[in-house]
Amino acid sequence: DAGVTQSPTHLIKTRGQQVTLRCSPKSGHDTVSWYQQALGQGPQFIFQYYEEEERQRGNFPDRFSGHQFPNYSSELNVNALLLGDSALYLCASSLVGATHNEQFFGPGTRLTVL
Amino acid sequence: AQRVTQPEKLLSVFKGAPVELKCNYSYSGSPELFWYVQYSRQRLQLLLRHISRESIKGFTADLNKGETSFHLKKPFAQEEDSAMYYCALSSRAAGNKLTFGGGTRVLVKP
């Protein structure tokens, strides 16, 4: 099991463009959460997907949207990119009902907005 | 609202010295507290959780509900402990999302 995988590793976009980031959860996991980590800060929760629906959302604008597919993989979409969207985007997977609420993280996608 | 504070951005200690990373939180319900670690060029990974009350790699952390703290301690730091450490809070009532502190970089000098 490769664990949580994310693609691409790095991405460079310009202001106003749109971007899609992808995540495959750890085998056996059914829940995917997305986090934004700006330089020098801790990760901030964006939203969480379970059963192909957005279950929770953090304090992020509607420009941030997502999707979960039947195989539990997920996408994060960001429209109308701003310079401030430059960050490391982390995906984490977990299993609903697990004894411990452990989330497993992917390596992240580094997004640079110019 | 959930909030986690790590007051130290950087902790520099010598090998063999004790190290303590501070974490304070605010949450009105029953929180679950975690410490995550990120070694150089590796992904974020769970170090320990308060529910397990375990010692991992010589680290321990005790949840003090009176002081709303979850400090991480190790009596004898090793060079391989150099990493970024994040304290995080979650709760089933809040849907299991993780709220992270800003992180503390630990540098263990030889």
- Tell me how close the Cα of A80 comes to any Cα of chain B, in angstroms: 26
Question: What pLDDT, on a 0 to 100 scale, did the predictor assign at position B44?
Answer: 95
Instruction: Let me know: does B21 contact B47? Beta carbons within 8 Å.
Output: no
- Confidence band (pLDDT; 50, 70, 90) for B69? very high
Give the mean pLDDT of A63-70: 97
Instruction: Let me know: does B110 contact B92? Beta carbons within 8 Å.
Output: no
Question: What pLDDT, on a 0 to 100 scale, did the predictor assign at position B53?
Answer: 75
A25 touches chain B (CB under 8 A): no
For residues A77 and A4, what is the distance between their CA atoms, to the nearest angstrom? 18
Give the mean pLDDT of A39-66: 95
Q: Which tokens go with B76?
A: 């004898």
Chain B residues close to A105, C-beta within 8 Å: 36, 43-45
A33 touches chain B (CB under 8 A): yes
CB contact under 8 A, B99 and A55: no
CB contact under 8 A, A42 and B103: yes
Given a cut of 80, whether residue A99 has pLDDT beyond it is no
Given a cut of 80, whether residue B7 has pLDDT beyond it is yes
Given a cut of 70, whether residue A102 has pLDDT beyond it is yes
B47 touches chain A (CB under 8 A): no
